[in-house]
Amino acid sequence: MSAARPSRRSLILFALVLVALAAVGIGVWAFAEKPQTRSAVKLCEQLTQVNTLSTSIVTLDPTTLGPQVAELQRATSVAPSDIQAQLTVLATFVQEIADAVRASPVDKKAALTTALAERQTRIDEVTAAGQAVEGWTITNCGTSLRTTTTRR
């Protein structure tokens, strides 16, 4: 019994489908892997998502703290080079504090106090970074990252 050989037409059609799938895959990969464009406008837009971060930290409100910290982390991917390092320092520190508070099963305020005490040696660096980011946002975005009132 002889093996059935695929027709030339079937092979060409298969090759075309394979090429089309490869092209679509490359297109999806290129679109998905495209790095964020860094710009002041994009950073200002992103920072509007963290406009109540300071209140969320003070109140330790889990419904707002997690999303605000995530948005601050995302902001580092669009930050222009003149503020990127300071924003990264600030975002990393805030993420560490939020993670420590989130990990505490009972007393969130004690967890915050402990997390800050454990990072006391970095407070000057983080304060300077925070001041630089705030000054940058006032100059470039026309807004401050601080909220004027906090709830307890």
The domain spans of the chain are 1-34, 40-141
Return d(Cα 2, Cα 92) in angstroms, integer: 67
63, 52 Cβ separation under 8 angstroms: no
Q: What is the pLDDT of residue 31?
A: 59
Q: What is the reported pTM?
A: 0.69
Q: What is the pLDDT of residue 129?
A: 92
Return d(Cα 115, Cα 66) in angstroms, integer: 16
Q: What is the pLDDT of residue 132?
A: 93
pLDDT single digits (tens) 117-134: 999 999 899 999 989 999
Q: What is the pLDDT of residue 71?
A: 87
56, 64 Cβ separation under 8 angstroms: yes
